[in-house]
Amino acid sequence: MKAIMIMFDTLNRHMLSAYGGPDWIKTPNFKRLAERTAVFDNSYVGSMPCMPARRELHTGRYNFLHRSWGPLEPFDDSAIERLGEAGIYTHLITDHQHYWEDGGGTYHTRFNSFELIRGQEGDPWKAEVNSADINLGKDFPPQVKRMLVQDRTNRKFIKEQEQFPQAQTFASGLDFIERNHGESHWFLQMETFDPHEPFYSPEQFKQLYAHEYEGGLGDWPMYGPVTETPEDVQHMRYEYAALLTMCDHYLGKVLDMMDKHNLWESTLLIVNTDHGFLLGEHDQWAKCVQPFYNEVAHTPLFIWDPRTGVQGERRQSLVQSIDIPATLLEFFQVQLPPDMQGVPLRQTVESDKPVRKAALFGIHGGHVNVTDGQYVYMRASISAENQPLYNYTLMPTHMRSRFHPSELQKLELAEPFSFTKKIKMLRIPAEMRGNLHAYGTLLYDVTADPEQAHPLKDPEVESKMVELMTKLMRENDAPPEQFERMGLSGPPID
């Protein structure tokens, strides 16, 4: 038995042909993939964004109620590590640069082996002491400016298609498959940062979406409300589409390899993403600094399970990223950790058997969201101060830095949670950047209003969704102050 997971970052479900995307966006291999797999129509994110989502892919547990961005914790049960301990060879090939930053340093080392491809986004890869020739067109905050300058420096070394990090990632993945297709008991995670911004792609893909444009938006939108023109928005969608078609191109190469060696007989194939991206929808760019609309939270997911033989069928059951590690463990007949909340999806692939009534999702300090597949309820904090809020961690690092000493001056030791193996945690005061409270609490019927254009005012439905949310938060052993922050009835005090 073998398994391959192809993971894209920021893959927009609503722009894929397999999900009814617009005809002008070229994704024929995603359509081809849909014809060979079970296609999940009700897949949702869990914890946002990148590394919180990847913690879920190891632990099968929600991250966002207890902690922001950070590494795997000492008490975490990594499904990848469990596979290795059970004799399943695990290999990671990725160009996702967050793996080698402070906030991601314990993920890739759970694999038996790994290969990291450099150069994506603001990866501090190529050195240029004097970058005075790089003109960004306008001024940016220092951290953003550093990333933009570094990205421009990296691009000087990424010109030909085979030099692009995505191309190198897939080339290495295909090489692994070619050399090991005759072996058994292995798992390959082939993960590219694309089509995450910046939307930089080779010329051959840009030419598919050639258009006249005289604006200065480039290919890297800044997070937040759209202040640009409709022409700017359409330009950015073309830039994203070019990179998306590049992703489709390399996906096709993996499908060709599956065909060449008839890997369909013995190989589990999962194609997934961590989240989507707003390209002007709801008058917003990007993610995380606004509510998690369906363009971000409602994700594509494709699974081929050779034990079921199901292909070309749609699945309506509500699933999440926490189900993927459970699915991998079950496939290789490895026992699931007792703290794992995700559920193996074999029977869902086979017969659309439901695995949950509702799904919780969000970002640390933001809206807490719940969906039952019909309604999406986004609950905002009850005050603009967005307090109380704490990080619970034994690994105090942010995305690209350690916690500053000033953040640690008020830390306390907190009692263990149900999943921390009797280990006390650091309890560190936290803040959420931005003001998500200003968006208020939102309720949508996404079956009748899939674009979430008409928020509902329905006390009966809201009461039902609050009940689901509270139940799931309790099952996750959410900190008591999360209930207070959201104005919810918390767990009983012992």
Which pLDDT belongs to residue 494? 44
Which residue numbers in the chain have pLDDT < 70? 491-494
CA of residue 472 relative to chain centroid, distance: 20
- What is the pLDDT at residue 492? 56
- Predicted local distance difference test score (pLDDT) of residue 437: 93
37 is written with which tokens?
A: 């797999």
The closest of 63, 77, 436 to 224, measured between CA atoms, is: 436
- For 67-102, the pLDDT digits (tens) are 999 999 999 999 999 999 999 999 999 999 999 999
The C-alpha atoms of residue 165 and residue 150 are separated, in whole angstroms, by 15
Which pLDDT belongs to residue 136?
A: 85
pLDDT at 490: 78
Distance of CA 206 to the CA centre of its chain: 25
CA distances from 293 to 54, 100, 449, 476 (A): 20, 29, 12, 23
The pLDDT score that the predictor gives to residue 131 is: 83
Claim: this prediction has a pTM higher than 0.95:
yes
Cα angle 463, 464, 469; round to 5: 95
Tell me how far apart the 2 most distant CA atoms of the chain are, in Å: 65
Residue 142, burial from CB neighbour count under 10 angstroms (0-12, 13-18, 19+): exposed
pLDDT, tens digit, for every residue of 127-169? Answer: 999 887 888 877 888 888 999 999 999 999 999 999 999 999 9
Q: Cα–Cα distance between 166 and 130 in angstroms, integer? A: 28
Tokens found for residue 413: 């030791």
- Give the Cα separation of 249 and 293 in Å (integer): 28
